Chains A and B, each alone.
Chain A
Amino acid sequence: MKSSEATKSTRRNGLIPFRIELETRMEQPRWLGAAVSLGAMIFALFLGGVILSMAGGNPIRAYSYMLKAAFGSWGVFSDTLVKATPLILTGLACAVAFSMRLWNIGAEGQFYVGAFGASAVVLAPLIPLDSPAWLMILTMVAVGTLAGAAWGFVPGFLKARYNVNEIISSLMMNYIAVAWNNFFIFAVWSEGGFQMSPKFPKTAWLPRLTDYVEKIPAFRGLTAHLGLVFGLVMAGIIWWVLYRSKWGYEIRLIGDNPRAAEYSGINIKRNIVLVMMLSGGLAGLAGVSEISGVVHRLQGAISPGYGFTGIIIAWLAKLNPILVVPVSVLFGGLILAGREIQPSGVPKLIQGIILVCLIASDFLLRYRVSIVRRSWES
């Protein structure tokens, strides 16, 4: 028995013949984390069902519909992957920042300016429009990622220099980013008075599976695009950075114990700025991937909250970059299927419930909860 200091919460009324005893866990079994997260997910879906039926919906029909609409065939699974692509990148953005306990809530805005940067390459244009596709895409990726990193730099710098709370500043930057994009959509790049830019030339599109339909007929209609590869590669790179590089060790040490990090000579302020820029760059890349892989033009409402969902994904994946990928696929399915479900707030609601249950369940990782019969206590 792993018991050293037992925290007891005793109710002294004799009515209930049981009491709940809490015991601090000294070590966790390896499977426990996964089991508790899974349990929390299932509990959250159950709770979501209860609320859904309270709001007048049919949870069983809604869930089975969602499952079919997200994973029912190769076609819809490809669409799920399309939705998962930006989520992987924003999830990584949040995971890397949260590892340092740096709360970047601005992935949404960084996504928007990333999309803006990629669009500017085509619409300004920053390079000749008859450039080959590889050069076009490379420039879009570079500019968009840099734009996202610049957007992340602002809250990072303010935190390092003036100790400004990065939660609020990064969140405020979201609203500024959306207004910034809207200005360009309405006033500068508007096509014929519509609130969208002209469509990008084909050279600025990320290749999709369906583009290879002549060689492999099975790819007909599959819209999964190169952005997914960006996501998978970045997941690998970020995993390596966080768990195999010296910088990643510094990041995690600052997250675990900032004082120890400071005493060991790690430059915390520099890392705040750098990690915020890395995080912003990843979210910016998500914007690039979405704009040139899916939307193919700059317009409003390009994100159903990818940046915010990234927060939940990072947390559900326990900040592990590799786990971010499967979790993103799950949430991609949720967002895809949720689009057609009434009432329209259901995906957001389920995301909220999942996060709440997840955080609450961490308690079970730290404490062993046992119900003890009262009779033999006294």
Chain B
Amino acid sequence: MDLIIILQAGVATGTVLLFATIGEIFAERAGILNLGLEGMMLIGAMAAMKTVVATGNPWLGVLVAMLVAGLLSQIHALITIQFQADQVVSGLALTFLGAGLSLVFGEGLSKAGAMSLLPRYTVPLLSRMPVLGPILFIDQSVMVYLGYALIPLSWYYINRTRPGLHLRAIGEFPAAADVLGINVYALRYFYVFIGGLLAGLAGATISLAVSPGWFSELTTSGQGWIAIGLVIFAQWNPIRAAFGSYIFGALRRLILDIQGPAMLLGLANPFYYNPYLGFFLQMIPYAFTIAVLIIGSREALRKRFGSPAALGIPFIRGERGI
């Protein structure tokens, strides 16, 4: 059990959550809660895998995964934006639909043999940094680096640019944004689509980089839901989202590694001698999500910081309301 290795793998695992969480932040900042994250990630993971099996090109796999998940997200957009249906139920429906579609079209995919994965790189200079170098920059998948770039870019986009201002406006006070000539409907479609693209990217990152392969619903194993929890913890801020995602990634890796050594901190390792205790370790990420939610909502209460004001509320042009 080497701490550096755990953190290194944790960053890679956390990249999946990072993409999904930032995607959901975009959608929720625009006022649309999309609980279908798990379904979109599943279909992304399946589509990426299937494309690579068929063509052998992982980049094409990533592209297809993003497009397919983005397309799926538009069903949610249509139902919630155009038809003004309940966003919670529609999101759940999307989860079912995504899972069903990926199971049907992914039939037999788990038996697929060797395939080409996304490349891994070591960054020449940065990797020589003490501690941080090996954790962040040695032999990481290209997706991990894409994740590093996404964090500041999305933060800057949301908080410092004009389109980002519009994004925040349609999530906080769509009626006012509408008066200013912002097309609330079109932008909401757009940001739900962005959320879908990133969820597809997260799915492709699982099946082509982090834990390659297709294991039906176990491929995502609830990470989409964890990401939705992380959005609340992150207070809709990409930088906090990155922090949470990497911690979760490291935690998942730690749980795998802790069962390895016979001795732990000079004591007999109970998880080594009784592997069944591993079932309790499996609970930790989910219990931790609940803990994170408690921390997040307590903090929100104290800082008087809440979700985007119009989150979950359909915008009907010309009607009273926010």
Task: Enumerate chain A interface residues (CB-CB to B < 8 A).
Answer: 7, 51-52, 55, 103, 105, 158, 162-165, 167-169, 171-173, 175-176, 179-180, 182-183, 186-187, 308, 311-312, 315, 342-346, 348-353, 355-356, 358-360, 362-363, 366
Contacts and interface: CB of A to CB of B under 8 A. Distances in A.
Nearest to A8: B318
B222 interface: yes
B100 to A, nearest CB: 3
A179 B105 CA distance: 28
A164 B293 contact: yes
A183 B290 contact: no
A363 to B, nearest CB: 4
B94 A186 contact: no
A172 B94 contact: no
A175 B97 contact: no
B75 A345 contact: no
Nearest to B289: A172
A352 B99 contact: yes
- The 5 A-B residue pairs whose C-beta atoms are closest, nearest first, are A345-B103, A349-B100, A352-B96, A352-B97, A187-B276
Contacts of A352: 39, 93-101
A165 B83 contact: no
A187 B83 CA distance: 50
Interface centre among A167, A172, A186 (most CB of B within 10 A): A172
A183 B279 contact: yes
Nearest to B222: A175
A172 B279 contact: no
B93 A359 contact: yes
Interface string B68-107: 0000000100110011111011101111111111111111
A169 B101 CA distance: 26
Which bracket fits the contact residues of B? 35 or more
- The interface centre, meaning the residue of A162, A180, A312 with most chain B CB atoms within 10 A of its CB, is A162
Contacts of B180: none
A7 B105 CA distance: 40
A315 B90 CA distance: 11
Given A158-B294, A172-B225, A360-B78, 9 more contacts: A172-B289, A179-B283, A345-B216, A348-B99, A348-B100, A351-B100, A352-B96, A356-B93, A360-B85
Contacts of A315: 89
Interface in B232-279: 232, 274, 276-277, 279
Nearest to B216: A345
Contact of B79 (A167, A168, A173, A359): A359
Contacts of B102: 345
